[in-house]
Amino acid sequence: AQKITQTQPGMFVQEKEAVTLDCTYDTSDQSYGLFWYKQPSSGEMIFLIYQGSYDEQNATEGRYSLNFQKARKSANLVISASQLGDSAMYFCAMREGLYNFNKFYFGSGTKLNVKP
């Protein structure tokens, strides 16, 4: 089974509107971390936001927030007030604690296009 599933290969959003990028994960570990990365066309992966499995509050970083629903095993990224520079690939990732802490599992990504 896939560890990280991103079901939206591509998304469009109007500039200044909010958009939600979906991510579900699969783990039996109690301790894990969830990450979102942005990859512009230039190729580098840019860390956006982190959510720990024991964090009770949803993580926020500026215009980025993570809608963490532990029982559903989902960690959706919400981008508020979209900007043209937000157009990029977005990857959800998970790092499991204890035994597999070497590995990051990445989803297949969502390509976000922000329209002017």
Partner 1 sequence: ETGVTQTPRHLVMGMTNKKSLKCEQHLGHNAMYWYKQSAKKPLELMFVYSLEERVENNSVPSRFSPECPNSSHLFLHLHTLQPEDSALYLCASSPKISSDPTYEQYFGPGTRLTVT
Question: What phi, psi does 85 have (nearest 5°)?
Answer: -70, -5
| Closer Cβ to partner 1, 1 or 116, answer by number | 1
CB atoms within 10 A of CB 79: 23
Q: Is 101 in the site for partner 1 (CB under 8 A)?
A: yes
The minimum distance between CB 16 and partner 1, in angstroms, equals 29
Q: Is 14 in the site for partner 1 (CB under 8 A)?
A: no
Q: Which of 41, 44, 56, 71 binds partner 1 (CB under 8 A)?
A: 44
DSSP string, 97-113: STT-TT-EEE---EEEE
The minimum distance between CB 108 and partner 1, in angstroms, equals 5
Q: Is 104 in the site for partner 1 (CB under 8 A)?
A: yes
Q: Which of residues 52-91 bind partner 1 (CB under 8 A)?
A: 52-53, 91
Distance CA 18, CA 33 (A): 24
Stretch that binds partner 1, among 13-21, 39-47, 59-67, 78-86 (CB under 8 A): 39-47
Instruction: List residues near partner 1 by CB under 8 A.
Output: 4, 31-33, 35, 37, 42-47, 50, 52-53, 91, 95-98, 101-109
